[in-house]
Amino acid sequence: MKKIVSVIMGLTLSIILSVSSVMAGTEDLGKVVDGSELTNKVSAEDVQYALVRGNLLNQGSARVSNLGGGVINAYGGAFCSVTCDKVMLKITVQRYSGGSWYNVESFDDTAYNTATLTRSYNLSVSSGYYYRVKAACMAQKNGVSESKVSTTDGIWIG
């Protein structure tokens, strides 16, 4: 009988700790911080398009996805209207803590003589925080440069 009571108490404690861990982040749910909404979605994406014709950089995009088990995927893409001399992409993963976003990890990539540069990285992160991805894209051709920055909403990793 004592074993059964111990098992039930252990399970109850586990459930309480799990629920309180999930509930800890919900107090900020829906809040907008530095342009990013704090959400409980599985993924978030932001795409920035060119507003004028005749440009080099048509689109810059960023995406963050919860892969489960404390792992997220950070994606960034630069899409040009023409083949450029150089295309650069900087993907930055940020964590929300104490009312601000803090950089966790950055990835820099460069490609030459191309119109497209996309990258995707899986990253183990600490549970109990919101995460977002910023993707800074730049394209250069014949001495002319264009850039865009895409920033996702924050997703909860419980």
- In this structure, the chain runs to a length of 158
Residues linked to residue 122 through DSSP beta bridges, in sequence order: 73
Query: What pLDDT is stored for residue 46 in this prediction?
Result: 98
Q: What is the pTM of this model?
A: 0.83
Element (H, E) at 6: helix 2-24
CA atoms within 13 A on the CB side of 72: 28
Least confidently predicted of 8-22, 65-79, 101-115: 8-22
Q: Classify burial at 13, counting beta carbons within 10 Å of its beta carbon; exposed 0-12, middle 13-18, buried 19 or more.
A: exposed
Please tell me the distance from the alpha carbon of residue 53 to that of residue 66, in angstroms, as a whole number. 35
Residue 140 has pLDDT above 80, yes or no: yes
| Residue 18 pLDDT greater than 70, yes or no | no
Decide the pairing of beta strands 36-39 and 154-157.
parallel
Q: Residues of 58-83 as b/e, b for ≥16 C-beta within 10 angstroms? A: bbbbbbbbbeeeeebbbbbbbbbbee
- Predicted confidence at residue 3, as pLDDT, reads 57
Residue 22: phi and psi, rounded to 5, are -65, -40
Domains, the chain, with CATH or none: 30-157 (2.60.40.10)
Cβ atoms within 10 Å, residue 8: 10
Phi, psi of 10 (to 5 degrees): -65, -45
